[in-house]
Amino acid sequence: MPQRSRKAKDPGPLDGARFVRPGFARAPEHDLAFALGYPHVPVEAGAPPVRPAAARKLLKQRARELTGPGLDVLARELEAHVGAVVIAETLVEILEGYGDRDFHAWNRGLIQLVRWGLGFALLRCPAAIAAALRARLEVVCDRAIAARRPDKPRQVEQILDVVLHGAAGARRSGHRYEGAVQAFDLLHVHDDPAFVLDQVRRERFEPLWRPWARLAFLGGEPVVRHYARHWRKIRDGVDVRAFVRDFGRIRSPAVTRAIREIAATPASPAAADATAWLARH
């Protein structure tokens, strides 16, 4: 008798789906995208396909490096090839293999991979898998705290606190500059929009300042309005174009006004993008 093909088991909702805010974005699929980490999402690299074994090997190699340039992009490119579960499981396994001396070492590569790779990959794992991985990370975090020494770095403990514990973790362990928690350590604060707003408002408009669409989602409309009101403070043309692309997905009168202003500013590197956006919307 011919055998019936078995359907793949439905893995259920992704972990980040619990953070959907209906109506935040201009379309339901964009609401989900923001909940799953947009704009920090998998990107196609155009390179030959990467198999899971090769991705795991590369992550383990890069996690040992003292510096971590480009690891945010690497993590998203690898995830596009092998999926969020492989990325998250591999990085959890690396952390579980750490001993006391490893917790004390300066390791920029691992920290960047946890922030940009693991933190967002967990949102895109099936909820049950993500819950199990988070529980394992809590054990690692407890071991890192137990191994704490006053004369040694606390990097692993701090980044896990930031990724796992929302606003409480950001308050305890987020990097601060002139009193404000840095934007990159607010990326996983799902539980306190007012805290995100307060930190965003404290940020200085320095030459490298830019709006973060992720923080606009986490902080809600007040953060959206803050960023939209100050779009002229963006100095990098790439960041102005990113503002039109990413904030253009947000359903907000403040965003529409800002994009109209950009379109009416011929010298802006994003004027053409803004004009095209207005024509579509």
Residue 218: inside a domain: yes
Unique residue bearing structure tokens 């359907």: 7
> Among residues 148, 164, 180, which one ends one of the domains?
164
What would the DSSP string read from start to end of 79-134? HHHH-HHHHHHHHHHHHHT--HHHHTS--HHHHHIIIIIIHHHHHTSBHHHHHHHH
pLDDT at 105: 84
Cα maximum dimension of the chain? 73
pLDDT at 264: 98
pLDDT at 10: 65
pLDDT at 128: 97
- Mean pLDDT of successive 10-residue stretches along the chain, which has 281 residues: 53 93 97 98 83 95 83 93 97 95 88 96 98 98 93 91 98 94 97 98 94 98 98 96 98 98 96 98 93
Q: What are phi and psi of 63, to 5 degrees?
A: -70, -15
Unique residue bearing structure tokens 């991985």: 133
C-alpha span between 247 and 159 (Å, rounded): 27
Q: Are residues 199 and 159 in the same domain?
A: no
Residue 1: inside a domain: no
> Among residues 149, 164, 179, which one ends one of the domains?
164
Q: Are residues 137 and 261 in the same domain?
A: no
Domain containing 225 equals: 193-281
Number of domains in the chain: 2
Q: Are residues 29 and 131 in the same domain?
A: yes
pTM of the model: 0.92
Q: Are residues 157 and 209 in the same domain?
A: no
pLDDT at 41: 96
pLDDT at 139: 97
pLDDT at 7: 56
Neighbours of 173 (CB within 10 A): 19
- The continuous run of DSSP H or E covering 221 comes out as helix 221-229
pLDDT at 2: 44
pLDDT at 11: 67
Q: Which residues pair with 180 in a beta bridge?
A: 177
Residue 186: inside a domain: no
Question: Is the distance from CB of 247 to CB of 38 less than 8 angstroms?
Answer: no
C-alpha span between 29 and 165 (Å, rounded): 27
Residue 181: inside a domain: no
